[in-house]
Amino acid sequence: MRKILISAISSRVYVAAIQDQQVVFLEAENAARTTSSFMARHTARALHVMGGVDALGVLVGPGSWTGARITIATAKGLALATQCPVTMIPTHDLVWAGRDPGASGRVVIWAAEREPWHATYRNGARIAAVEPIEIGSWTLQQVTEGKFDRKTHVLFDVGRDAPLLDEPFQADLMLRAFDIATTADGAVGADGLKTPFMPSYPPKQ
């Protein structure tokens, strides 16, 4: 299967083409005002290298909202042009992909505007949609107080831990995250793409 994976939710932006589980094209750069043109230019190159695409994976956050919007817009254009299905990959699945494949637990991501989003995993698979925890101005420690088990739970602060998203592209983790998201949520067409993980309430002043 020919897959294109794209992300602009952190300070590193990348476009990768995967064919038969092997990376055949990869371009990455630091996020800048030219991110949208970078995405358009290199998704076109990835298509040319593989001669087409069968599936598209899009990292949609939590992370940079501007980057997520650029990524979604790029994916929508590509999906319209190629009619390929798109899997929207939450950051939770990428974080969980680095754990034992059969593990169970929970990922809580403390996103921008101080709103946490959580996802639950059982035997390596996400068992429900990613949802916000509406806690107002509580701290991350309060979110998990009395419920946090470091052996099974993962806490990820977009502000504090964002450098983890800037590591060199790891095809195995992205492909596993792609599979987790596809199994949990399915794929969508261009009309089903949206920018998720916007805050559900105004930030506290």
Residues 22-36: b if buried by 16+ CB within 10 A, e if exposed: eeebbbeeebeeebb
The tokens of 137 are what? 């101005």
Cα–Cα distance between 190 and 83 in angstroms, integer?
A: 8
Query: What is the structure's pLDDT at 184?
Result: 93
188 DSSP assignment: B
Pairing of strands 55-61, 2-7: parallel
Query: What is the structure's pLDDT at 109?
Result: 81
Residues 6 or more apart whose CB falls under 8 angstroms from that of 27 comprise: 14, 15, 16, 38, 42, 45
pTM: 0.84
Cα–Cα distance between 119 and 2 in angstroms, integer?
A: 28
Query: What is the structure's pLDDT at 201?
Result: 40
Query: What is the structure's pLDDT at 35?
Result: 86
Query: What is the structure's pLDDT at 202?
Result: 39
The tokens of 114 are what? 């101080």
- C-alpha pair distances (Å), 159 with each of 75, 96, 124, 165, 193: 25, 18, 26, 11, 25
pLDDT per residue of the chain (205 residues) written in tens, 0 to 9: 999 999 888 878 889 999 998 999 999 888 777 888 899 899 999 999 999 999 999 999 887 888 888 999 999 999 999 999 999 999 899 888 888 888 888 888 876 555 778 888 999 899 988 887 765 555 555 555 545 555 556 766 665 555 556 566 788 889 999 999 999 999 999 888 887 765 444 333 3
The second-level CATH assignment, the architecture, of 2-91+163-192 is 2-Layer Sandwich (3.30)
Query: What is the structure's pLDDT at 200?
Result: 46
Residues 6 or more apart whose CB falls under 8 angstroms from that of 142 comprise: 135
